[in-house]
Amino acid sequence: MRALPTAGALRQVTGGAAVRVSTGILLVITIAALVGPSLSSHDYFSMNLGERLEPPTLNDTRFFGTDDLGRDLFVRTMSGTRITLLVAIVASFVSLVLGVAYGAVAGYAGGKVDAFMMRIVDALYALPFIFLVILLMVAFERNFLLIFVAIGAINWLDMARIVRGQTLSLKEREFVAAARLIGVPPVVIVFRHIVPNLLGVVVVYITLTIPQAILVESFLSFLGLGIQEPRTSLGALVNGGISHMEGAPWVLLIPATLLAVILMSFNFLGDGLRDAVDPRLKAR
């Protein structure tokens, strides 16, 4: 009997249409972003003022047309996707490493250490982050790295809270008591016995933070504070497309649609994974 809910949940993931479709879409987009630009005869920065705002066509591999400086939109969209995905993944990785380590240590230590560490998190929560990021961008050179750091710094707070909560309940479990009785040092208990058992929750949460990171990056780029020319991201492309909304709608619509599809796919995937993990957590 006990095996049943898990089996059902696994079926839900592998068989869930939304999850399968979104995984497929993300794969296709990732591959296209990686190999797409090299298939085209154009590059992402060459301008050709004679071919401004060309509509999409199959001729000359201008699948998505050109922008207001005559740059090839297909290549620009693909390399923009590459950067958007990269920012999202690196930012999520930062939040993963920092958040899991911080949350697990705070939760396992408990008492005063926990209270102190979590008050730091609360204090950071209270900072208006977008405002801070904008300040950073203005004060320092507009740096590619800074975006990673800024977005990761927002996300790890949530991750730390979630991981701490899970750790609090895991550390009362008997396998942790058994490890203490053997004499396993606390740091080893955290990283050998507690963290691996958090992975289910963490994986789910990460798939849900990736779209969040993408949104923040796009938002910054849209404001003109993120990725700088000639490099581009989906947010920057949407920003560039706005001014030609009437004359050349494809310049806006193509990157905007792609952004929406990526966000939705990650959200569906995260929801599906969460549904799969939740009942198993309950059954335990």
Partner 1 sequence: MSLLDVNGLTISYAALPEPVVDRLDLSMERGEALGLVGESGAGKTQTALAIMGLLTPHATVQGQVLFDGFALAGQTAKVLNRFRARRLAMVFQDPKQALNPYLPIGEQLKRVLLEHRIVDRRAARGRALELLRRVRLPDAERQYRSYPHQLSGGMRQRAMIALALACEPELLIADEPTTALDVTVQAQVLKLLKELRAQTGIGLLLITHDLGVVAENCERMLVMHRGRLLEQGSTRTVFRNPQQQRTKEMLAAAARLDHRPPERPPVSALPVLLVDRISVRFREAPSGWKRQGSRGVVGNVSFSLAPGETLGIVGESGCGKTSLARALVGLVAADTGSVCLSAEPLAARVADRAPEERRDLQMVFQDPVASLSPAMKVGSIIAEPVALHEPGLRRDERNDRVASALGRAGLDPSLLQRFPHELSGGQAQRVAISRALVLQPKVLICDEAVAALDGTVRRAILDLLAAEQRRSGLSLVFITHDLAVVRQISHRVLVMYMGGIAELADNENLFARPRHPYTRALLDAVPQADPERVPPALPIEGEVSTEGRPSGCPFHPRCAYAVARCREEVPALRQVDGVEVACHRAEELDLR
Listed in sequence order, the residues at least 6 apart from 127 whose beta carbon sits closer than 8 Å to its beta carbon are: none
Look up residue 119 and give its two tokens.
Answer: 């008050």
Question: Out of 196, 246, 247, 282, which residue is the one contacting partner 1 (CB under 8 A)?
Answer: 196
Binding mask 259-278 for partner 1 (x = CB under 8 A): --------------------
Query: ω before 230 within 30° of 0 (cis)?
Result: yes
Question: Binder to partner 1 among 27, 97, 135, 284 (CB under 8 A)?
Answer: 284
N residues, the chain: 284
State yes or no: residue 8 binds partner 1 (CB under 8 A): yes
86 CB neighbour count, 10 Å cutoff: 15
Segment interacting with partner 1 (CB under 8 A) among 7-15, 39-47, 117-125, 208-216:
7-15
CB 212 within 8 A of CB 155: yes
Q: Does 119 engage in binding with partner 1 (CB under 8 A)?
A: no
Amino acid at 4: L
The amino acid at residue 102 is: Y
Identify whether the C-beta of residue 95 lies closer than 8 Å to the C-beta of residue 209.
yes
Q: Residue 173 CB, nearest distance to partner 1 (Å)?
A: 6
Among positions 41, 183, 246, 282, the unique one binding partner 1 when judged by CB under 8 A: 183
Question: Under the criterion CB under 8 A, does residue 184 sit at the interface with partner 1?
Answer: yes
Task: Confirm if 96 and 206 have CB atoms less than 8 A apart.
Answer: yes
**Region of residue 138 (left: phi > 0; alpha: psi -120 to 50; beta: else):** alpha
Binding pattern to partner 1, positions 161-180, x when CB under 8 A? Answer: ------------xxx-xxxx
Using CB under 8 A, which residues numbered 197 to 236 contact partner 1?
197, 199
Q: Which stretch binds partner 1 (CB under 8 A): 48-56, 134-142, 157-165, 184-192?
A: 184-192
Site residues for partner 1 per CB under 8 A: 1, 3-4, 7-8, 11, 173-175, 177-184, 186, 192-193, 196-197, 199, 284
